[in-house]
Amino acid sequence: MDYSRIAPMMTHLWAPMAAVTSAWQGKYNAQIAVAISAASIVPGKPRVAIKIQKRNLTHDLIYKSDGFAINFLSTDQLDLISAFGLVSGRDTEKLSHVPYRLGPSGSPVLKSCWGYMDCRVVNALDGGDLTCFLGDVLEGDTLGETGDQPGHDKGPLWWRDAQRQLPPELIDEWNQKIAQEREFSAESMDNIDFTPWTSRS
């Protein structure tokens, strides 16, 4: 298949940039999300789905704790892309200089972000290289501007906008990291475990 034929559509499937956080036995971590989507049309029962690569520490924390929080970054939080997306939580405490509180799931909720949703995992789907976690939203709030008020531009941060503002050397580092992730995914995405998911908590 010629990927270029569907590339314009694929670019529209990515969500705003978000830090997915989780915690397990005193270990806290955050990472820039691969993909997020709404998973319910019932307002009283909101659900979301996130896709997290298995090599990431956050994946292990979510898998063991059954909880995660999605913290949508605002347009003035470009610095968190590097802090959460280019280093491993196995090597550093990513949240040591970022104010947060613990949500109902036990996951860190950033005190400064565009908005958040704290979630409890209700099911998971193995994708070989990643896991798709389905979560019930336990708590959430929109903290920043919605982006549609005249004179306000502090809305959610999108990758297409971040790329225009980040320094070229950081973009290069990001692209190198993505190239490594693609190599891992290409080798492992067909190794799907069809064992039904069960709650760990």
pLDDT of residue 150: 42
Phi–psi pair at 59, nearest 5 degrees: -60, -45
* Residue stretches of the chain with pLDDT short of 50: 148-152
C-alpha count within 13 angstroms, C-beta hemisphere, residue 95: 24
94 bridge partner residues = none
Alpha helices in the chain (DSSP H): 7-10, 57-65, 79-85, 159-165, 168-188
pLDDT of residue 8: 87
Spatial distance between the Cα atoms of 54 and 58, rounded to a whole number of angstroms:
9
CATH numbers and ranges of domains, the chain: 3-188 (2.30.110.10)
C-alpha count within 13 angstroms, C-beta hemisphere, residue 119: 27
Q: Are 109 and 103 in contact (CB under 8 A)?
A: yes
pLDDT of residue 153: 57
Q: Are 99 and 30 in contact (CB under 8 A)?
A: no
pLDDT of residue 152: 45
Rounded to 10 degrees, the C-alpha dihedral 182/91/171/143 comes to 100
